[in-house]
Structure 1
Amino acid sequence: MAATMHAFADAAELARNLADKVAASLSTAITTRGTAVITVSGGSTPRAFFQELSTRDIDWSKVTITLVDERFVPADNERSNHLLVASNLLRNKAKAAKFQPLYQAAGSVEEAAALATAATQAIGNPFDVAILGMGGDGHTASFFPGGSNLKVALDPTTPRGIITMEAEGAGEPRLTFTFSSLQDAGLLVLHIEGEGKKDVLRKAEGAGDEADMPIRAILRRAASPVDIYWAP
């Protein structure tokens, strides 16, 4: 499916425009179905977008927010994506939204993945909105080059749900939605900033193996068109 590049003058303009687009998509879902689901990514890039989105005037009480992926750390850990979302998105008008975490207090990351899969099944799929990021190594979600479960995670026949991932570039063990869970979102966005990430994207759009740059799986095989939001 083709990708469309939306380029903006700076990160603030990108955040405003992406918040407007996402808010419109969520509102449409609420009007059509009565509820809406958005899954978001961590890292430093989405912070301004989260803050913008939190002020948008939609019926947040009918919105469920979850995470594309998460580190196997408690919600109060400074590296937790849950904490990032709680601090930047679950505020202002978006305080009324429901949040579904991926981290589950469990004896192992594998047990946590099973619990998270069960917990997220109730929120429905496909997602109305999925916001992906991309690392300098070409990873997205927790699909890391050399990841322990990368082949399974990227396999389109792997069921929707949460899978574990461990990789040299990942730090802590991770919990991540599978490719099948993300690739057919109503609005599928890759949010990246900086010339360096643009160069990584260009490389990913060229020939090469998905295992080397897992973002290629989204760019090449997603059922939904990919909207790329970029600013220098």
Structure 2
Amino acid sequence: MPLTQSLYESAEALNEEFAAEIAEKLAEGIAQRGRASLMVSGGRTPLPLFKTLSETDIDWASVDVSLVDERWVEESSDASNTRLVKENLLVGKASAARFIEIKSAEADATDAALACESRLSAMSQPFDVLILGMGEDGHTASLFPCCEQLEDGLAMNRGRVCIATQPTTAPHQRMSLTLPAIVASRNIYLHLTGDKKRQVLEDAVANATATEKPIVAVINAAQVTLKWAP
């Protein structure tokens, strides 16, 4: 599938336009189906976007928010995406949204995958808006090229929404959406900043397989819009 590219001169310009586009897609979902679903990723890149989006004027009480992936840590940890989203997105006007937890009490994420799928089933699916990031190794969500669970995470015929993964090149066990759950989404975005990430993406698309750079699996299977700024 071709990668649609929206390139901006600054992160500020990207965040303003991207937030407005997300709000428009969510409003469409609410109008058509009564509720809308927003799946977000963690990391530093989306923080300014979250702050802009949190003040966007839509019917947030009709929006369900959850995570594309989560590190299997307590919410008190600095590594928690749940904490990051609650502190940066689910504030202001967006505080009215309903947050669907990925992390649960099980010590091993593998034991929590089915329960996680059950919680996510309460959301409007396919997801209205899903925002991915990408690591410099080409991973997206918590589908890492190094993890033993990658084949299962990329399998399109297993019918799974969530999978526990254990990267060897990054800390913490994770819970991640699977490739079929990601590519079923109505609007899929890849949000990147910086020349290095853009070069990684271009090299991956041109030269890598899906198992070498899992972001390629998403781009090959769905229409993805790149939102990039220096």
TM-score range, shorter chain: over 0.9
Q: Any idea what the Cα deviations from partners look like across 1:61-120, whole Å, max 9, x if unmatched?
A: 000000000000111211000011001000010000000110001132111222211211
Match of 1:230 in 2: 228
SS at match of 2:143: coil
Q: Which residue of 1 aligns with 2:123?
A: 123
8 Å CA contact retained: 1:16, 1:49: yes
Unaligned 5+ segments in structure 1 are none
Give the stretch that moved more between structures: 89-98 or 145-154: 145-154
Q: For residue 99 of structure 2, give the secondary structure of its aligned residue in structure 1.
A: strand
Between the two proteins, the alignment pairs up a number of residues equal to 230
- Whether the 8 Å contact between 1:146 and 1:167 is mirrored in structure 2 is yes
Q: Look up the SS of the partner of 2:5 in the other structure.
A: strand
TM-score by length of 1: 0.97
Note the alpha carbon deviations across 1:19-41, whole angstroms, 9 max, x for none: 01100000001011110001000
* CA deviation map 1:33-59 (0-9, x unaligned): 110001000010000000010011000
Deviation at 1:154, TM superposition (A): 0.5
With 93-102 and 160-169 compared, the bigger mean Cα shift is at 160-169
Determine the C-alpha separation between the residues in 1 that align with 2:56 and 2:160: 30
CA contact (8 A) 2:35 2:124 kept: no
Structure 1: distance between partners of 2:114 and 2:107: 12
Correspondences of 1:32-181 after superposition (within 5 Å) = 32-181=32-181
Cα displacement (A) at 1:231: 0.3
Q: 1-side partners of 2:100 and 2:6: how far apart?
A: 29
Match for 2:76: what amino acid?
Answer: D
Amino acid at match of 2:5: M
Match of 2:23 in 1: 23
Structure 2: unaligned runs, 5 residues or longer: none
> How big is the alpha-carbon RMSD for the aligned residues of Structure 1 and Structure 2?
1.0
Question: In the alignment, what sits opposite 2:219?
Answer: 219
CA contact (8 A) 1:14 1:229 kept: yes
State the TM-score, normalized to the length of structure 2.
Answer: 0.97
Describe the SS at the equivalent of 1:206: helix
Q: What amino acid is the match of 2:121? A: Q
What is the rounded CA distance, in whole Å, between the counterparts of 1:170 and 1:188 in structure 2?
25
Q: Percent identity between the aligned chains?
A: 37
Report the Cα distance in structure 2 between the residues aligned to 1:109 and 1:205, rounded to whole angstroms: 31
* Cα distance in 2, alignment partners of residues 211 and 15 from structure 1: 31
Question: Do the aligned residues in 2 keep the contact of 1:41 with 1:69 (CA within 8 Å)?
Answer: yes
Aligned equivalents of 1:158, 1:135: Cα separation in 2? 25
Q: Secondary structure at the match of 2:227?
A: strand
Q: After the TM superposition, which segments of 4 or more aligned residues of structure 1 sit over 2 Å from their partners?
A: none
Describe the SS at the equivalent of 2:220: helix
Shift in Å, 1:158:
2.2
Partner of 1:13: 13
Give the SS at the match of 2:117.
Answer: helix
CA distance in 2, matches of 1:169, 1:85: 24
Give the C-alpha shift of residue 125 in structure 1: 1.8
Equivalent residue, structure 1, for 2:196: 196
Give distance in 1, aligned partners of 2:155 and 2:85: 28
